[in-house]
Amino acid sequence: MAPVPLPAAASFAAAGGTLLLIRYLWRYRDKPGADWFLASLGFQTVWSVAYGVALLTFAEPVRWALEVLSWAAMAGTGVYFLAFALAYTGRGTPVDRWWRAIAAFPLLIGLIGATNPLHGLAWTDFTVVPVAGMAGATYDMRLWAVVAATAGVSLITVGSLVLFDTVVSYGPLYRREAVAVGLSTIPPVVAVFGWLYGAGPIPEVNLATAAFVPHVALDAYAFVGSDMFEFHPATRRAGERAAIDDLGAPVVIVDERRRVVTLNGAAEAAFGVEKEAALTRPLGALLSEERADPTGVDPIGGDDVVTVRDGGRRRVYAVTATPLSDAGGTHVGHTVVFQDVTDERRREQRLDVLNRVLRHNLRNDVTVVQGFTEAAAERVDDDEIQSMLDRAASKATDLAALGEKARTVERVVDSDPRSERVAVADLLAEVRDEHVDGSGDATVTVDAADVAVTTDPAVLQVVVGALLENALEHAGAAPTVELSAERRDGAVAVVVADDGPGVPDHELAVLTAGAESALEHGSGLGLWVADWGATALGGDLSIDAAGGTTATVAVPDGGRDR
């Protein structure tokens, strides 16, 4: 029995390897592009088997039929591979739109080939030619057939380039696999082009199916060895698209000359433009109050806040511009994100005004009220009127103290953080001496020997002072308060404990909720000052109101762990 010629044997080997690859990849049918890839491999198998048999068949009618089948399978292999590449890399919209035409393309090519004797549009003068022990074939292909075959094979090249570009963007994770994908189609593509244009070693034989052997080996390495269907680019591409298109904040992509390349829907709505009209225009003109202004503002050049007017609205945006670079590190533009801070700026403005009124106007006026009330109380003999004046003076004193607390809040929240090593016992003793009148009935003890912490001492002092003041005010006529500190898991826990009735539930509920309402609100600023100060220190405030009140401030130690 004569040995099977090498091209035919290689074709059968390629078919067998392709079937094994199909069997392995069958589990990934639900992955993006997997169905198209399996279909492409199926046509590749048919092509390899049909042409392998054709090389062994000298009967002209059978050899002609196998040639027609090979043409149809070649068309399916190419167009389905491109559909796979597009779907796999997240570019499947054209595939979804034209899937019927894509699916029917190899059938159309097969139909044209099968009916060629009737119209002669594909080729003429089909002849079986014995060559090197094989059944080669010669025929005169019509121009459109050459162009169609060239285009069909080019689809495989385009698909490979799409895969190569996308997969390589994953970086080192799939770099070797990307090279394998890029190289896998070179042998069959070169073989087909050589056969089409008579440049192959055996013009009468298409060696593409034999060239599928290295192609299948490289595909197996890329898709089996690394499980590339487990981590496909479609997820990342969809995520990148969603990150821009679905983001609530306006996003504009500009090139290196500040010209708009694309923008999301939020940007269209915010700036009152349509994407088509904004493309290629300068970013500054897009943001300027007068749309015809060719320069406008330049958020990339240093303007970190821009004001945009459109349709009578005035919005303020904080701008973040991030440079964009291509794979080679060349600067190609910027991603510009606009964060609407209009409401935030308005709140800051209102708070600044209210804070100024509270710090200056209210404090000064309350001081006047307090002075006149106390003077009036000294000049009246009526006990009832004097009692009312005394109460009014007491409330004025409370209001003045509230103003001072507001100033303390500003100092705690807005001060520049600093850090130094302090002995906690000394700090607690200083707080005690500041808030306790030596002639009063309160008993305040300090127990924090050998405990030190690296933190902002001024803020910690304000926090402990607010908690101590709260204890002295609400713990009863002769309260006992203990100030202590100890190390706990790399942090320092500063504790203010009293023997009073405990903090009311509604006070704790407000603090836990983190906001006040018309129905749930605290009676003052003391606990808020303590909570905000603990947060400023990077710590936490916890309060246990069972059997007295125990407030604990856990402060992370910024220094060495002792």
361, 384, 414 — which closes off a domain?
414
Domain match, 10 and 132 both: yes
Question: Which has more pLDDT, 315 or 138?
Answer: 138
Domain match, 39 and 153 both: yes
Domain that holds residue 255: 247-340
Average pLDDT, whole number, for the chain?
80
Inside any domain, residue 1: no
Question: Which has more pLDDT, 244 or 102?
Answer: 102
Q: What is the pLDDT of residue 427?
A: 92
Are the C-beta atoms of residues 452 and 486 closer than 8 Å to each other?
Answer: no
DSSP string, 274-322: -HHHHTTSBHHHHHSSSTT-SS---TTTT--EEEEEETTEEEEEEEEEE
Q: What is the pLDDT of residue 295?
A: 40
pLDDT band at residue 561 using 50, 70 and 90 as cut-offs? very low
Domain match, 45 and 194 both: yes
Domain match, 138 and 113 both: yes
pLDDT band at residue 538 using 50, 70 and 90 as cut-offs? confident
**Closest C-alpha among 106, 114, 112, 121 to residue 73:** 106
pLDDT at 99 over 70: yes
Residues in contact with 413: Cβ distance below 8 Å, sequence separation at least 6, in sequence order = 532, 536
Inside any domain, residue 561: no
Domain match, 361 and 489 both: no
pLDDT at 2 over 70: no
Inside any domain, residue 325: yes
414, 430, 455 — which closes off a domain?
414
Q: Which long-range contacts (CB under 8 A, 24 or more apart) does 531-538 make?
A: 532/409, 532/412, 532/413, 533/412, 533/459, 533/460, 533/462, 533/463, 533/466, 534/463, 536/412, 536/413, 536/417, 536/456, 536/459, 537/455, 537/456, 537/459, 537/460, 537/463
Domain match, 89 and 161 both: yes
Q: What is the pLDDT of residue 52?
A: 95
pTM value is 0.54
Total structural domains within the chain: 4
315-358 confidence digits (pLDDT tens): 888 888 888 876 567 787 888 888 888 888 777 776 666 666 66
Task: State the Cα–Cα distance between residues 530 and 443, nearest whole angstrom.
Answer: 21
Domain match, 41 and 168 both: yes
Domain match, 190 and 262 both: no
Inside any domain, residue 35: yes
Domain match, 529 and 408 both: no
207-257 confidence digits (pLDDT tens): 999 999 998 998 888 777 666 666 656 565 555 666 677 777 888 888 888
Inside any domain, residue 242: no
Domain match, 138 and 10 both: yes
Domain match, 276 and 180 both: no
Domain match, 208 and 307 both: no
